[in-house]
Amino acid sequence: MMKKISEDLRLQYRYIDLRGSKMQDNLRFRSKLYNIIRTHLDEKSFSEIETRILTKPTPEGARDYIVPSRVHKASFFALPQSPQLFKQMLMISGFDKYYQIAKCFRDEDLRADRQPEFTQLDIECSFCNEEDIMKLSESLMREIFSTLIDKKIVLEFPTILIKNL
């Protein structure tokens, strides 16, 4: 029977932890996932744009992680809660279809469904309707699942129709 190793010990000897097949499989899976996302969205004429990590704090949403500036005394940066802060600027400057695989940070109380650092796929489109976004998302999910999980998978994406009251 294998003994449960503490998280602190695993992180202290991270290089040993990363030698394990489970960790290597996880990192390779993520690499393949990112490649599928990039290829699929590139084929749909999306540009990959990376927005900045150090920003000004914003008043909405969760609390920001604050990073002090060594160069500018008494100045602070915030780590982004999500990349949508830059959406309008990019859209009005002519980037009507872009995406990013973005690191996000939220200083929230930890719960089972929350973590302070995570990665999200942020897709932005101008002049699209709900159906366009659903088709894009569904085609991307089919590509991801059929390539990484099961070549024979058939994914159905039912929708809920809401009648006007």
Spell out the domains of the chain, with CATH numbers in brackets. 36-148 (3.30.930.10)
pLDDT given for residue 165 in this prediction? 58
The C-alpha atoms of residue 52 and residue 79 are separated, in whole angstroms, by: 9
pLDDT given for residue 134 in this prediction? 93
pLDDT given for residue 89 in this prediction? 83
Q: Where are the beta strands (DSSP E) in 6-150?
A: 47-48, 65-68, 76-79, 97-105, 117-125
The rounded Cα 48 to chain-centroid distance in angstroms is 13
pLDDT given for residue 154 in this prediction? 83
pLDDT given for residue 137 in this prediction? 95
The C-alpha atoms of residue 40 and residue 50 are separated, in whole angstroms, by: 17
The C-alpha atoms of residue 61 and residue 114 are separated, in whole angstroms, by: 14
Q: Which two tokens stand for residue 137?
A: 């998302």
pLDDT tens-place values along the chain, 165 residues long: 667 888 888 888 888 889 989 999 999 999 999 999 999 999 999 999 988 888 877 776 667 888 888 888 888 888 877 666 677 788 888 899 999 998 888 887 777 777 888 899 999 998 899 899 999 999 999 999 999 987 788 888 888 877 775
Secondary structure class of 89 (helix, strand, coil): helix
pLDDT given for residue 43 in this prediction? 97
The C-alpha atoms of residue 10 and residue 59 are separated, in whole angstroms, by: 36
